[in-house]
A and B are shown apart, each in its own frame.
Chain A
Amino acid sequence: MQAEKTRATLLKKPLSAAGRTPNLLDYKAECARFDWRKAWALLDGLPGGQGYNIAHEAVDRHAAGPRAERVAIRWLGKAGERQDITYRGLSEAANRFANALYTLGVKPGERVFILMGRLPEFHAAVLGALKARCVVSPLFSAFGPEPIATRIGMGDGRVLVTTADLYRRKVEGVRPKLPGLVHVIVVGGDAPEGAGLYAWDELVEHASASFTIAPTDLEEMALLHFTSGTTGRPKGAIHVHGAVAAHHVTGLYALDLHDDDIFWCTADPGWVTGMSYGIIAPLTNGVTSIVVEAEFDAATWYSVMARERVSVWYTAPTAIRMMMRLGAAAVKDYDLSALRFLASVGEPLNPEAVVWGMEAFGLPFHDNWWQTETGGIMIANFAALPIKPGSMGLPLPGIEAAIVRRRNDGGVDVVDEPLIEGELALKKGWPSMMRGYLNEDERYRKCFSGDWYLTGDLAKRDADGYFWFVGRSDDVIKSAGHLIGPFEVESALMEHPAVAEAAVIGKPDLMVGEVVKAFVELKPGYEPNDDLRKELLGHARKRLGPAVAPKEIDFRANLPKTRSGKIMRRLLKARELGLPEGDISTLESDEK
């Protein structure tokens, strides 16, 4: 089936699809002549040659130039509110936040966490913290108290920006575990009162609107994005201010951003896509971004695109598949004539969905691939090139990708032969490559072999150079484009008094890619029944939140284990899917 997929015919695009000349017109020539110095030349740098700061490239340089009065963000609130913030306005809002941090005595390098929905203050907090040379770490608002506490604790968060509702529901209860979290800034009304709690409206809105960014080194830590591995706690991937060169160029090449575009990235800023492409890349490219507070609803999305004349749209497979359920006919009620480029990221977009874009919008979706550690888009289907539906596309100019095989001695062999499955690897050295996992050097080093960064994704490359995603090389679960570490889920389940052991897998799902499924072994004296199942589900949701908690729980009298007592998730998954069980020579105690 995989081989069949890779033989798929190229999807030729209608001429009108481009609408204008793509930024990346001659792929081969650009790859041959590309040099990251060229990307730097597209940025300004801090005045007086004092380095590079993401916030300067994103807002200050536009605020000081002809784009000052252009709308940077058009925020559409849940209750129908509409707020335009210009580049000058956003620069000033960020300055106020930077000054507020200074007033609180927050130092450069200290971590500022942000936990809230899609509100305009999110942008101001990110950019203000970057201006103050603090490190920004976004959290997904659908996390429960435990993932939040784990990440703020690991990241040694000094400041948290959140809302009153999220604070009461998810933070207040775990705050005693976070002695290093000194300041909590509450956006919106109804701010709780207490030591270290501040209302944004008082602290930030009254601060000065001018701020000068101090000299910032390219290699200074700017962003901390938590992601998940198979074992242990989440990993905090470190990104530096210099990453902005990659954010900018990938926005230009992979998203084809042009000066007058109205851009909508639907990703939540609590994840890396919402940061790199919801905030940074559209701003450095000087376009207008739409920010929608409401949750997904297909008809609402179409009306936003029609009313706001969205021209470039970056969304995710789960959302596209939900729109497919509603059907292409529903799109016809809306005037989407401004739309000219569609892109998707998060998990491989199935060929049917790529083609459905043609039926519904008259435009195909351009799938692309990257991960938290890469900081920006690495492989993409481009505006000027034919699409291979189901493929990740071709490497960006400046990015060298290969399929490799790990050797026992720690080295890797590059597989040149087409259509051979192996691990996707990237040649080190692009600006948005992670610079470390916070406080975990060993884990970081394990991601590299020689000059290659090993992605943990299995893929193959066809004879035309297009890459095709095959699967993960580990047990990490990918649900709705987000990585979930089984260990984090298992640990929360094990906290329940009835649970002896738990194993968590990703169960394939047509809508979200994989759903989190847990297998639970009970302690003696507990009966597996529906009431207990609900109790465990509720227990997990309360701690982990809906984004991480299992959607399904099954009971087992015994979980399959190796001689050393390690639970074989792989075997549970194979059995769940009715697949061959593979090598079970290490199996000591089988499932019952």
Chain B
Amino acid sequence: MNESDIRNLIFDVLSGIAPEADPTKLAGTVDLRAALDLDSMDFLNFVIALSKRISVNIPEADYPKLFTLNGAIAYLAK
């Protein structure tokens, strides 16, 4: 997957959790949890859905790397 695929995947997953938000307008460096009103359950569902969609296990210790859009894209690109 290239960066744009990853970005679209993230947006698609977010649309199932916080459909009222428009993450495409977000700066890449802001905390998604605050910007999109995600509580801890929402964030957990976000990471679980991502890991299912790309069939990669995301260990809990790496969760903080996914707090921002840029962080999540960089992490998933690896």
* Candidates A296, A299, A537, A542; contact of B40 at CB < 8 Å: A296
List which A67-82 residues lie within 8 A (CB) of chain B. 78
Q: Give Cα A542 to B19, complex, Å.
A: 9
Q: CA separation between A297 and B61, bound complex, in Å?
A: 9
Interchain CB contact under 8 A, A534 and B19: yes
Contact across chains for A551 and B60 when beta carbons are under 8 A apart: no
Selected from B19, B31, B42, the residue in CB contact (under 8 A) with A546 is B42
| Contact status B41-A299, CB under 8 Å | no
Taken together as a complex, chains A and B put the C-alpha atoms of A325 and B64 apart, in Å, by 14
- Whether B37 pairs with A318 at a CB distance below 8 angstroms is no
CB of B1, distance to nearest CB on chain A (Å): 23
Q: Which residues of B contact A541 (CB under 8 A)?
A: 18-20, 37
Query: A182: CB under 8 A from chain B?
Result: no
Q: B60 touching A298 by the CB < 8 A rule? A: yes
Residues of A within 8 A of B20 (CB): 537-539, 541-542
A18 lies within 8 A of chain B by Cβ = no
- CB atoms of B61 and A538 under 8 A apart: no
A322's nearest neighbour on chain B, judged by CB, is B40
- Decide: A515 and B61 in contact? CB cutoff 8 A: no
Give the complex CA separation of A507 and B61 in angstroms.
Answer: 27
Chain A residues with CB below 8 A from B15, complex form: 534
Q: Please tell me which one of the listed residues A298, A299, A327, A546 contacts residue B39 in the complex, with CB atoms under 8 A apart.
A: A546
Contact B40 A480 (CB under 8 A): yes
Judge if B27 is at the interface, Cβ distance under 8 Å: no
Using C-beta atoms within 8 Å of the partner chain, give the interface range for chain A: 20 to 34
- Whether A535 and B19, one on each chain, are in contact in the complex, defined by CB atoms closer than 8 angstroms, is yes
Number of A-B residue pairs having CB atoms within 8 Å of each other in the complex:
60
Interface residues on B, range: 20 to 34
> Known interface pairs A538-B20, A542-B20. Does A325 touch B60 (Cβ–Cβ under 8 Å)?
yes
0/1 interface trace, chain A 522-543, chain B, CB 8 Å (1 if under): 0000000000001101110110
- A537 x B44 contact (CB < 8 A): no
CB proximity of B10 to chain A, nearest CB, Å: 16
Known: A297-B63, A298-B60, A330-B61. A512 touches B19 (CB 8 A): no
Complex interface: chain A residues within 8 A of B40 (CB): 295-296, 318, 322, 480, 512
Chain A residues within an 8 Å CB radius of B19: 534-535, 537-538, 541
Q: Is A120 at the interface (CB under 8 A from chain B)? A: no
Complex Cα distance, B22 from A538, in Å, reads 11
Q: How close is B61's CB to chain A, nearest CB, in angstroms?
A: 6
> Can you list, as one digit per residue, whether each of A262-296 has a CB less than 8 Å from chain B (1) or not (0)?
00000000000000000000000000000000011
Q: Is B68 an interface residue (CB 8 A)?
A: no
Q: Please pick, from A318, A326, A512, A546, the residue contacting B61 in the complex, using a CB distance under 8 A.
A: A326
How distant is A368 from chain B, measured CB to nearest CB, in Å? 22
- Identify the interface centre among B33, B38, B39, B63: most chain A CB within 10 Å of its CB: B39
Contact A545 B37 (CB under 8 A): yes
- Flag if A295 contacts B37 (CB, 8 Å): no
The minimal Cβ–Cβ distance linking A548 to chain B, given in whole angstroms, is 10
Interface residues of B in 17-31 (CB under 8 A from A): 18-21, 31
- Cα distance A537–B20 when bound, in Å? 8
Q: Which residue of B is nearest A117, CB measured?
A: B34
C-alpha spacing A88/B16, complex, angstroms: 49
| Alpha-carbon distance between A574 and B71 when the two chains are bound, in angstroms | 42
Contact A300:B18 (CB < 8 A) given known A295-B33, A551-B45: no
- A538 contacts across to B, CB distance below 8 A: 18-21
Please measure, in the bound complex, the distance between the C-alpha atom of A535 and the C-alpha atom of B18, giving whole angstroms.
10
The complex places the Cα of A295 from the Cα of B32 at a distance, in Å, of 11
CB–CB A534/B16 < 8 A? yes
Residues of A contacting B31 in the complex (Cβ-Cβ under 8 angstroms): 78, 295
Asked if B64 and A515 make an inter-chain contact with CB atoms under 8 angstroms apart, the answer reads: no
Closest Cβ–Cβ distance, residue B23 to chain A (whole Å): 13
Min C-beta distance of A431 to chain B, whole Å = 33
B44 and A326 within 8 A (CB): no
| Distance in angstroms between the alpha carbons of A295 and B34 in the assembled complex | 9
With A534-B19, A538-B19 already in contact, the answer to whether A326 and B39 are too (CB < 8 A) is no
Is the CB of A178 closer than 8 A to any CB of chain B? no
A538–B21 Cα distance when bound, in Å, is 8
B60 touches A512 (CB 8 A): no
CA distance A131 to B65 in the complex (A): 44
Quick one: which of A288-319 are within 8 Å of B by CB?
A: 295-300, 318
Minimum CB distance partner of B67 in chain A: A297
How many Å from the CB of B72 to the closest CB on chain A? 15
Q: Is A470 an interface residue (CB 8 A)?
A: no
Query: Which residues of chain A come closer than 8 Å to B61, judged between CB atoms?
Result: 299, 326, 330
* B38 partner residues in chain A, CB cutoff 8 A: 546
The answer to whether the Cβ of A384 comes within 8 Å of any Cβ in the partner chain is no
Write the chain A residue with the least CB distance to B20: A538
Q: Which residues of B contact A78 (CB under 8 A)?
A: 31
Minimum CB–CB distance from A513 to chain B (whole Å) comes to: 11
**Known interface pairs A511-B44, A534-B19; 9 further A-B residue pairs with C-beta atoms within 8 A, sorted by A's residue number:** A295-B40, A297-B63, A480-B39, A534-B15, A538-B19, A541-B37, A542-B20, A546-B18, A546-B38
Task: List the 9 shortest-distance A-B pairs measured between CB atoms, nearest first.
Answer: A538-B20, A538-B19, A534-B19, A326-B60, A546-B39, A542-B20, A325-B60, A541-B20, A546-B37
